[in-house]
Amino acid sequence: MLNLLCDSFIEIGKVYGRPALIVFGFPIYFYAIIIVSGISIAVVLAGLLLKKRGIDPYDITEYALVILPLGILGARLYFFMFPYSSAPSDWSNFFNFRDGGLGIYGGVILGYIGGYVWCKIKKQDWWLVADCIGCVVLLAQSIGRWGNFVNNEAYGNLVTNPQFQWFPYAVQIGSSWYQATFFYESMCTLVGFLICFFFLFNHKKYKKGWIASFYGIYYGLARLVIEGLRSDSLYLWVGGSATNIKISQFVSICTIILGLWRLSVIYRKQIHSLYSKIFQSEKQEVFLSFYVLLAFTIVLIGLDVWLCILAFPLTNATAMEFLTAVALVFLTVYCILAIFALWDRRKLYCPNCGTRLIEGENVCPNCQRNHDVKLNQTLLKIFPYKVYPDFSVDGILPWVDPLKKKEQ
């Protein structure tokens, strides 16, 4: 009887060329089943990781309710803002989610913003939460990529050599073979998840922000390479025309830079300690660093001008020219801000005798000369003066259910 009912109301077939489970005539695409399965497993594991970091594991439900809708919206926006090179997006179809069209990076970006805001509302440590969620996002991506397999998408270049027409190097679509880039990324993200879950998260010297930094650097590098192999990439469009720039490669460069920056913040104390050994005194460090950075920035500006000439107009630029130009421009802006910060920091030293003063002092304690020390607060936030936050998790105990505590 059960088999008869299943045969009558549930079947497996293809709808618009995509495999689906058809229930009472309504298609549930395998693409969606695989992605939802990945998300569900990730949510459960994230709750377990939150518990180990002393956070109520049931809070993951709230984060999921915030992050998942925003993630889907972000993935959809990404797909429409940066369409394929063949044709611009038809925004009238934006809400037809069942037609397909999602970009992982868009989901990660908007989901990250939503998670950060909700975390601040709950007054929790964002880097603890971000590490727990970032770890399992890699697993969700690994599982989700198999949705691309069943849909015959996210593949690479045509493989014409019969010696390489085998899975997992290549995947057969129709009568042709293409590089199985979906599989490459699935394996890369699975390895990344295993590194985070079994090594980074449990390391005795673990620092808050490790996994978030690792995600940006590791996935950014993997996607940068794999995206170069794909033949169905999304592109940056300017003025209604597609450029040669694969947008996911550009975003990958950004995530790598942000990941490295985050690591520099975590290990700022160690970096400062090594750097200060070059100089004889703190004053010499500040003054000489200013001139060295000034000279370096002038060279950077020259490179920026040269690369921007190569990279424009964007419709003629190669992806590497554009990416390199953008990365150098960001680095130049950062260096310019650092120059102003170092110039401002020179105020800490009395111009008459060179004594190191404290911010807020009006008179030099050594020569009694009037010298108002007031640093730019905005620059101090970007370049804090020897402020080393504690990113360790020492003293953080696993979460225990208050009800069970009372019973004990």
Its pTM stands at: 0.88
Inside any domain, residue 222? yes
Specify burial of residue 299 (Cβ count, 10 A radius: 0-12, 13-18, 19+): exposed
Inside any domain, residue 367? no
Q: pLDDT digit string (tens) for 124-170?
A: 999 999 999 999 999 999 999 999 999 888 899 999 999 999 999 99
d(C-alpha 76, C-alpha 93), whole Å: 11
- Choice among 45-54, 86-95, 111-120, 179-188 with the minimum mean pLDDT: 86-95
Inside any domain, residue 408? no
Inside any domain, residue 21? no
Inside any domain, residue 196? yes
Inside any domain, residue 235? yes
Domain count for the chain, please give it: 1
- Give 327's contacts (C-beta < 8 A, 6+ positions apart): 253, 257
- Residue 344: predicted pLDDT: 87
Percent of the chain with pLDDT strictly greater than 90 = 52
Q: Mean pLDDT, the chain, as a whole number?
A: 87
Q: pLDDT digit string (tens) for 346-385?
A: 887 877 776 777 766 677 777 777 767 777 888 888 887 7
Inside any domain, residue 383? no
Inside any domain, residue 342? no
Query: Can you give the residue range of the structural domain that contains 52?
Result: 31-266
What mean pLDDT is predicted for residues 16-28?
79
